[in-house]
Structure 1
Amino acid sequence: MRISTPQFYNSSSANYERTFGNVNKTTQEASDFIRVRTAADDPVGAARLLQLEQQQNMLDQYKGNITNVRNALGSSESTLNAIGSILQRVNELAVSSGNGGFTDADRKANASELASLEDQLFSLMNSKDENGKYLFSGSKGDTQPYVRNSDGTYSYQGDQSNLMLQVGDMLSLAANETGYSAFEQALNTSRSETRLTAPATDDGRVSLSNGQVSGNTTYNDRFRSGEPYSIQFTSSTEYKILDAGGNDVTLEASQGGKFDPKGDNTTISFRGVDLRLKISFKAGDEANPDAAIAGHSFNLSSKADSIAGTRSPGNTSSAQVTDATISDPAAYKAAFPGGGAVLKFTSATDFELYASPMTADSRPISSGTLSGTTATAAGVTFDLAGAPNAGDSFAIKADTHQNQNILNTISQFRTALNTPQDNDPVARQNFLAAQDAALGNIASGLNQVSSSISAIGGRGQALDVQAETNEALAGENTKTQSSIRDSDPAEVMLRLEMQKNMLQASMQSFAKIAGLSLVNYI
């Protein structure tokens, strides 16, 4: 077989270049022991490395999210703890204010301290985080969660949405605690009311408080199903209770309908509601006390929903909703949205009612035309002062009295403390009822705040577990990437030595064969 000189040189040159390239590549690998630099080095390994790098990037993002959630929850927890401490002091003041030796001056002193605590709570419930966002506004971080209304009440302006951040492949946690869950869901223990039905004019002999809900489950299951009730006093020591159907349910009341007229603030407990009873005989009643008390009767029921409307800041007119009443209970129950509504005027006289929040896709649930200065929609009649313009809207909220935030509880009790009661038995009775309401609602508010703190603690524990899981995954990810990308130092050095020897042998072989030309022997 003959090999031409060009063929010999081309073959030798290609062999040398290949061997020299291998040496250079292995030398570079020996400097950092990285085996896979491009997909050409190992297509399968490169694809696997890409997947692992994507996973590592996600783990890094989870780590940042965990830090953000932990910081946000820490701010919320410390604020809620401060709120809880203030509520403890509020509870102490409420308890001490019932002291029989206190005068109006003592109670006003407590009211003054309550006013300061109320302002502190208002400030804490409107706290911001390090980014200037409100802690308890839900997803509306730029909206102040609580505002003080002109009548002294407080309204929540945030929403119920949690800001969710993914902290693991299968786990997302809320980075915030909304004011709705922390404060607005506190049960209102003062959601029943009484009304004297006989005699037509109150003679002051029988005083019955509005009542306090002491058993929420019993109240919802038993009380609500039979209201309204009629409490009828048959003598100075007995009464009977009839439900809405006229059935006698007296045996479900404490002591089966009996009471001590000389007892100080006798309590009647009935279907989860506790009422204060006070009997005050008049001069001459000693001769026939039964006749003096018999015939008194009261209506007992849950408080009816109350409706309030506020104008939107962008309204072009100065029209206001001055009053709102439920004019058609059946229509109200069937159609009025539980989450609130928006009353919008499409002209100076025509209006539409939308469920709140109103969006571009919202459809009206009711519509109508003004009748004078009143608008009726979904069983509710609204009285307006001033003429509305087209485009004006009003936020409508329905208070079912099922819940009450702690700010309103403190405000109401502060008003009761400032009301004189010295030497006034009726005022004293009203104050004790207000104190019962305050103590019940303060306890409910404390429970709600404690529940929120517990929820934050639970999320914190979940974060710790997920952080450990993510760290373990990140460690395994690093090991797997290293096993694919990195070289075995011993193997690389051995291969480099072999390739160097091959390169040297190739050079020597070329020199020997190149010397076989006949020209060298002429």
Structure 2
Amino acid sequence: MRISTAQYYETTAANYQRNFNKAIATSNEASSLTRVNTAADDPVGAGRLLQLGQQSAMLDQYNGNISSTKSSLSLQETTLDSIGTALQRAKEIALSANNGIATDNDRKAYAAELGQIQQQVLGLMNSKDASGNFLFSGSKTDTPPYSQNSDGTYTYNGDQTSINLGIGDGLSVATNTTGWDAFQQTINTSRTQATMTAPAVDDGRVVLSNGQVSNSATYDAKFASGQPYTVTFLSSTQLKITDGLGNDVTTEASQNGAFSNSNGANQVVNFRGVDLNLNINLKPGDVPDTVIAGHTFQLSASPDSFNATRSAGNASTAVITGSAITNPAAYNAAFPTGGAILKFTSATAFDLYAAPVTADSRPVSSGAVVAGPPSTATAAGVTFTLGGGAPAANDQFAVQSNDHQTQNVLDTLGKMINAMNVPIDGNTNAKQQFQAAMDSGLANLESASNQLGSAITSIGARGQSLDDQSTTNQSLGLANTSTQSSIRDSDPAEVMTRLTLQQTMLQAAQLAFSKITSLGLFNKI
């Protein structure tokens, strides 16, 4: 086979250029010790490096999420601890006010300090983080979680939504603690009431407290289904309890309904999970059986109450001044449990909707205003008392029911403050009622502290999960870095050996080319 001189030159130049480019690439690799610079260097390795880079970026994001979540949870825990400290002081104040020697002036001073604690707790509940977001509002981070109503009670304005951040593959953790979980679900131990039904005028000789729930399981299983109960005092040492159907259930009361009249102060009658404080106040010359027998009380769960808030866009000045259940059957059947909207279609007609109202909402109840004074509107078994003038068309009121199963600590403190401000010096019955109110408040403060403890425990558990996952992410990060290095980085010894070989081959090619090109007939002339 014959090869022309031009063809030989062209082929040799191409081979030399290719080998020279390889040597240059190897020289660059020796300088950077990076084997894969482009996908062409190693298509499979480049694809794997892309995947590893994405994993590394995700690990960085996870670590950033862990860091920010730890900071947020730490702030929440510190705030909850501060609230717990304030509640401990509130307990001390309640015990001091109820020590039996405090005067009305002392109790007013205690009430003033308790009012300051209430405002301190409110401020802590409405705390913000460094970004200006409210800590305990759930996903409604721009809304203060608690606000005061016109009747002095407090409403939770946040939601129950947890804000989750990913901290690992398929693993996320809640970065927030909602006010619903930390404060709003505090079990209310004072959710029963005892109302004297006879005699018509209270003579003060028999004082029965509203009661405290001492066993929630027994209360839920037995008490609620049998109410309302009638407590009848048969004599100076025996009472009788009948349920709503008239069945005698006295055997379920402590000591089968027996009590003492000789040591009648601060006796406790336990019935179906409820502790009732009983005080017998005999007067000189009283015949015990004569003055005690015939007293009767109705014992039941506290009826639902309602908080009604007028819409800021209402055209009229009408307000809802009061509300009460007047038809229990209709209320239980129709009133929206998640809140309602009372909307007036005119000055005399209205509709009640389940909240929130949408374009396709249908009223659950409708009716007409009954002229007063005071004027009233009854919807779904609830009668609303109107004041401040006649309502106008399109006036709306947001109505939220409270079944008293739970009670936030702000309301507990408010009730204790009100009780401390009532004069009781020289009034035995009033003192006994005050003692019952303080016992109730202390029990609910303890319940609130327990709820805080549960929230702090949840924060601690999430913090431990963050620490564990952080360790896992660090291990994954080290493995990722090592794997990327094994794919991307070069072995210095192998690169230098290859570079030396390629340089030697170039030198050999140059020498061979010069020798071959010197061969020819002209060299023989």
| TM-score, L = length of structure 1 | 0.95
Q: Does 1:129 pair with 2:129?
A: yes
Name the aligned partner's letter for residue 187 of structure 1.
I
1:27-73 per-residue CA deviation (whole Å, 9 max, x = no partner) reads: 11111111111111111111111111111111111111111111111
Report matched runs for 1:317-332 at 5 Å.
317-332=316-331
* Matching residue of 1:368: 366
Return the alpha-carbon distance in structure 2 between the equivalents of residues 132 and 330 of structure 1.
Answer: 46
* Matching residue of 1:233: 233
Q: Does 1:271 pair with 2:269?
A: no
For the Cα contact (< 8 Å) 2:63–2:167, is it kept in 1? yes
Return the alpha-carbon distance in structure 2 between the equivalents of residues 251 and 367 of structure 1.
Answer: 43
Report matched runs for 1:443-522 at 5 Å.
443-522=446-525
* Matching residue of 2:386: 384
For residues 296 and 77 of structure 1, do their structure 2 counterparts lie closer, same or farther at Cα, with a shift above 3 Å needed? Answer: same
Return the alpha-carbon distance in structure 2 between the equivalents of residues 47 and 355 of structure 1.
Answer: 56
For residues 317 and 481 of structure 1, do their structure 2 counterparts lie closer, same or farther at Cα, with a shift above 3 Å needed? Answer: farther
Return the alpha-carbon distance in structure 1 between the equivalents of residues 32 and 509 of structure 2.
Answer: 27
Name the aligned partner's letter for residue 386 of structure 2.
L
Return the alpha-carbon distance in structure 2 between the equivalents of residues 316 and 504 of structure 1.
Answer: 98
Report matched runs for 1:74-113 at 5 Å.
74-113=74-113
For the Cα contact (< 8 Å) 2:412–2:444, is it kept in 1? yes
Aligned to 1:285, the other structure's residue is in SS state coil
Name the aligned partner's letter for residue 340 of structure 1.
G
Return the alpha-carbon distance in structure 2 between the equivalents of residues 349 and 49 of structure 1.
Answer: 74
Return the alpha-carbon distance in structure 2 between the equivalents of residues 298 and 418 of structure 1.
Answer: 27
For the Cα contact (< 8 Å) 2:350–2:369, is it kept in 1? no
Structure 2: gaps spanning 5 or more residues: none
For residues 345 and 61 of structure 1, do their structure 2 counterparts lie closer, same or farther at Cα, with a shift above 3 Å needed? Answer: farther
For residues 45 and 387 of structure 1, do their structure 2 counterparts lie closer, same or farther at Cα, with a shift above 3 Å needed? Answer: farther
**Offset of residue 337 of structure 1:** 2.5
For the Cα contact (< 8 Å) 2:183–2:409, is it kept in 1? yes
Aligned to 2:470, the other structure's residue is in SS state helix
Report matched runs for 1:78-227 at 5 Å.
78-227=78-227
Name the aligned partner's letter for residue 44 of structure 1.
V
* Matching residue of 1:66: 66
Give identity over the alignment, percent: 55
Name the aligned partner's letter for residue 493 of structure 2.
A
* Matching residue of 2:57: 57
Return the alpha-carbon distance in structure 1 between the equivalents of residues 505 and 334 of structure 2.
Answer: 91
Report matched runs for 1:294-305 at 5 Å.
294-305=293-304
For the Cα contact (< 8 Å) 1:253–1:270, is it kept in 2? yes
**Offset of residue 513 of structure 1:** 1.7
| TM-score, L = length of structure 2 | 0.95
**Offset of residue 199 of structure 1:** 2.1
For residues 25 and 392 of structure 1, do their structure 2 counterparts lie closer, same or farther at Cα, with a shift above 3 Å needed? Answer: farther
1:235-276 per-residue CA deviation (whole Å, 9 max, x = no partner) reads: 000011111222221121111111111222211111111111
Name the aligned partner's letter for residue 394 of structure 1.
F
Return the alpha-carbon distance in structure 1 between the equivalents of residues 230 and 152 of structure 2.
Answer: 34
Name the aligned partner's letter for residue 3 of structure 1.
I
Query: 464-473 or 153-162, which moves further after superposition?
Result: 153-162
Structure 1: gaps spanning 5 or more residues: none
For the Cα contact (< 8 Å) 1:368–1:375, is it kept in 2? no
Aligned to 1:3, the other structure's residue is in SS state coil
Q: Does 1:335 pair with 2:334?
A: yes
